[in-house]
Structure 1
Amino acid sequence: MINSYVIDRRLNGKNKSAVNRRRFLERYRKHIKKAVNEAVNKRSITDMEHGESISIPQEDIHEPTIGHGQGGTRTIVNPGNKEFNTGDRIRKPQGGAGQGQGGGDASNTGEGMDDFTFTITQDEFLEFLFEDLELPNLVRKDLKEMSDFVYRHAGFTNQGVPNRINIVRSMRNAHARRIALSGKSRRRVKELKGLIEDEMAKDEALRDGRALADWQEELQRLETKIKRLPFIDDFDLRYNRNEKVPVPSNAAVMFCLMDVSGSMTQNTKDMAKRFFLLLYMFLRRNYEKIEVVFIRHHTSAKEVDEEEFFYSRETGGTIVSSALRMMSDIVKDRYPPNAWNIYAAQASDGDNWNDDSPQCRELLANSIMPLVQYYSYIEITPRDHQALWYAYEQVRKEYPDSFAMEQIIDPSDIYPVFRQLFQRKSA
């Protein structure tokens, strides 16, 4: 049996083999995954304009070599030989005499080989980060806005610029015009040619010379008339007509809600930031337009920018329902559910006024969950759960497909928890 291999040598936009690049990325997947996971901790939540630089240690790109072992039979020619005759058996040189090439990592000048470094693209970065994940309840809503336009063919017009002339359609019109204008004359020409042919077939004595001359004169006049018709006229010209058509853009909004009371340390906020970053990047894989709304809260809620959201400190107690109520109001005012795909992520250390937790459950179940595609709650604390967690558990029972909650204790839990929340569901 003969195996056949087809090698795709088509080039990508940068004149490099896309197939070879894909094979290379698969080979060093472990190093790339490690670099991608480390990069998550360094980036801003909206910093999505580049890929990532990957370094592979020199020893991991070492290529295996094939050498000859001891023994075996081979034939060689030794020029200038004075010691051996034909048929003599020569023992191979023994190894370990210091004649090898060595690893090549160091020299007496102190120079060595650097790690191999290359860059993956933005799409490759996201592919490695979110492989085996899916976006729950991905719903394509009505178009939010028509911000992009493309020009598409929309028929023909009899006016336009020369570079848009449609030659085929113009020649077709010209041919049809000539047929229409000369149809009667062409039928008469055919008739006259038949009469003349019949008359010429008669004996010369029986021919009607006068009638024959009239027919020939009329035939010449009609043929001249047909030839005077222009091959193409301005009336025949047709131009391609292009129409500006809006391109739909699927829109999504991501609500980030976080407790910023005195119990939330900067370390806790940093862990929340990494989770929000992962969710934002994940949404970018599925939607062309993403807006982010930051809502922080202690005893009252406030919509802020990213810098204030993650790095400001507040003191006092915690009333979570204030943030949920503000989110509900913003959705009603700015993000109608029939036009936006709405996602929300909430981070907290679990502290809340006990009397407020039932209100949070009611707000979520009745006002927010019917409007959103997915709501994820992470509780960043090593302590036992409090009233807020148990109130949210009741919401999860009511909305098992669109509400998820997990606990995070240290930074190493962030990505596993994210994968748990967004893991690909089996069919």
Structure 2
Amino acid sequence: MNIIDRRLNPQGKSLSNRRRFIRRAKQELAEAVHKATAERGISDLGGDEKIWVRTSRLKEPQIRHSSALGQRDHVLPGNKQYEEGDRIKRPSSQSGLGGRQASLDGDGDDGFQFVLSQEEFLDIFFDDLELPDLLRKQMKSSDNFTPVRAGHALSGSLPNMNLMRTMRNSLARRIALKRPHPATLAAFEAEIARLAESDDPDRVQKCAELSEQLERQRRRSQRIPFIDPLDVRYNRFELVPQPVTSAVMFCLMDVSGSMTEHMKDLAKRFYKLLYLFLRRRYKDVDLVFIRHTHLAREVDEETFFFSTETGGTVVSTAFEEMLRVVGERYPADNWNIYAAQASDGDNVPSDNAKVIALLRDRILPACQYFAYIEVGHQDGMAQMTDLWRTYEALIRGGEPIAARKVNDRSQIFPVFRDLFAPTKKAK
């Protein structure tokens, strides 16, 4: 048995159907979204995306009679070959395949293209990710309020009317006051009409009595309205103040001459994901962008992603600039401080000791979480850089640093998800 919904498609139903489809196809859509991160440009991430969905993974559930149980004895209409009681030969195993055999150059199943909106794209892209160990330190003074359901009210605006509660109140009142049902009035009228055409000698008296009762019921129906203003209920909402947790993310990017265009592209893709993630999941997280060569400076978003400045490599300058900004605007006692650093791993050898001292003594004690991304050459050859050795020594010493290597665009999302998965622990 197949259940087919033949109801009319009212306004707004398509939205719920779309959301239901996205829930069912979430795994398929998530794989396509992850693949898109390696194919799209930096400025295109987060926009509308066309997704191919395979129908083989989206089959509708069906209710069927078991072929092994029950007893059936019927002939389908329009049948010219069989009669009741005939035994039907089992079809061969080769029939009924319907073109689902795989070809040499692709799958045999059909697919269709589905366009995800920007909101849906980002929802799937950043599903279940979060900033690790976000503590509620000092709250910002904010006018942020969230409407919360708080029962029902006797007055309100029409869009907030609760139809179910209103009709329930109306039904209870009509039952309690014994308001006559339209079917009861129709029955009186039908009985009066029948008596008027009958040969009953008492029909005049009976018609008069029924007419009097009908008139009383009609007057009662008019006095007791179907919906009374007292029945109407509105959804009531209260504005609850929402404390905003203070958090800041420092984005430290190496733009020195040793960073090739491929490496810079990987770093920018990572920071673009980070930027979209924070803007999507956290309304009031500050972002501080710091570019460094042999010098470091705080820049705006446009300069951070698109400036062509280059130079030598001194990593400690980025940490010194970060500490300067922390001291001026983000005291560690009041702010959750996060940092994400991207570099090719090159550094002046004489600067490594200073990097270790700054991280161990000042940066890491102030940070909730520190992530390091080392971008490599496109050929994927593993190289042990000075900076990677420096950070490995800190990790072996128990310092809370997460370090990952990325050589190709396709590795960006898995690494990003690994760094910001909800299971991550910070100090």
Tell me what 1:248 maps to: 243
Shift of 1:285: 5.6
Shift of 1:379: 1.1
Tell me what 1:138 maps to: 134
Tell me what 2:404 maps to: 406
**1:115 maps to 2:107:** no
**1:34 maps to 2:31:** yes
Mapped contact 2:48–2:115 kept (Cα < 8 A): no
Tell me what 2:290 maps to: 295
Tell me what 2:414 maps to: 416
**1:377 maps to 2:372:** yes
Q: Residues of 1 paired with 2:96 and 2:403: CA distance?
A: 63
Q: What are the residue-to-residue correspondences of 1:201-240 with 2, within 5 Å?
A: none
2:268 to 256, 273, 285: 273
Q: Residues of 1 paired with 2:278 and 2:84: CA distance?
A: 77
Q: Residues of 1 paired with 2:61 and 2:243: CA distance?
A: 52
- Partner-residue secondary structure (3-state), 2:21: helix
Shift of 1:355: 0.3
* Equivalent residue letter for 2:296: A
User: Is the alpha carbon distance of 1:99 and 1:419 closer, same or farther for their aligned partners in structure 2, counting shifts above 3 Å?
Assistant: closer
Residue by residue over 1:289-332, the C-alpha shift from the partner in whole angstroms, topping out at 9 and shown as x without a partner, is 12222211111112223343234344542101111100110111
User: Is the alpha carbon distance of 1:289 and 1:58 closer, same or farther for their aligned partners in structure 2, counting shifts above 3 Å?
Assistant: same
User: Is the alpha carbon distance of 1:361 and 1:88 closer, same or farther for their aligned partners in structure 2, counting shifts above 3 Å?
Assistant: closer
Residue by residue over 1:113-152, the C-alpha shift from the partner in whole angstroms, topping out at 9 and shown as x without a partner, is 9824243563x54453344544322112212342546899
- Partner-residue secondary structure (3-state), 1:324: helix
Mapped contact 1:284–1:290 kept (Cα < 8 A): yes
| TM-score, length of structure 2 as denominator length | 0.58
Residue by residue over 1:96-117, the C-alpha shift from the partner in whole angstroms, topping out at 9 and shown as x without a partner, is 9x999878xxxxxxxxx98242
Tell me what 1:9 maps to: none
Unaligned 5+ residue runs, structure 1? 1-12, 104-112, 153-242
Shift of 1:278: 2.9
- Partner-residue secondary structure (3-state), 2:266: helix
Tell me what 1:396 maps to: 395
User: Is the alpha carbon distance of 1:141 and 1:14 closer, same or farther for their aligned partners in structure 2, counting shifts above 3 Å?
Assistant: farther
* Equivalent residue letter for 1:269: K
Shift of 1:266: 1.5
2:335 to 316, 329, 340: 340
Q: Residues of 2 paired with 1:343 and 1:317: CA distance?
A: 26
Q: Residues of 2 paired with 1:355 and 1:116: CA distance?
A: 55
Tell me what 1:194 maps to: none
The alignment covers a number of residue pairs equal to 308
Q: What are the residue-to-residue correspondences of 1:44-55 with 2, within 5 Å?
A: 52-55=49-52
**Alignment RMSD (CA, Å):** 4.6
Shift of 1:262: 1.4
| TM-score, length of structure 1 as denominator length | 0.58
- Partner-residue secondary structure (3-state), 1:25: helix
Q: Residues of 1 paired with 2:48 and 2:125: CA distance?
A: 11
Q: Residues of 1 paired with 2:416 and 2:282: CA distance?
A: 19
Unaligned 5+ residue runs, structure 2? 1-10, 101-109, 149-237
Mapped contact 1:262–1:313 kept (Cα < 8 A): no
Shift of 1:24: 3.0
Residue by residue over 1:242-269, the C-alpha shift from the partner in whole angstroms, topping out at 9 and shown as x without a partner, is x999753333222111111111112111
Mapped contact 2:247–2:285 kept (Cα < 8 A): yes
* Equivalent residue letter for 1:251: S
Tell me what 1:167 maps to: none
Shift of 1:40: 3.5
- Partner-residue secondary structure (3-state), 1:352: coil
Shift of 1:347: 0.6
Residue by residue over 1:322-371, the C-alpha shift from the partner in whole angstroms, topping out at 9 and shown as x without a partner, is 11100110111122223332211111111100000111111111221122
User: Is the alpha carbon distance of 1:362 and 1:57 closer, same or farther for their aligned partners in structure 2, counting shifts above 3 Å?
Assistant: same
Mapped contact 1:295–1:323 kept (Cα < 8 A): yes
User: Is the alpha carbon distance of 1:46 and 1:331 closer, same or farther for their aligned partners in structure 2, counting shifts above 3 Å?
Assistant: farther
* Equivalent residue letter for 2:25: Y
User: Is the alpha carbon distance of 1:379 and 1:120 closer, same or farther for their aligned partners in structure 2, counting shifts above 3 Å?
Assistant: same
Mapped contact 2:255–2:311 kept (Cα < 8 A): no
> Taking every aligned residue pair, what percent have the same amino acid on both sides?
41
User: Is the alpha carbon distance of 1:362 and 1:426 closer, same or farther for their aligned partners in structure 2, counting shifts above 3 Å?
Assistant: closer
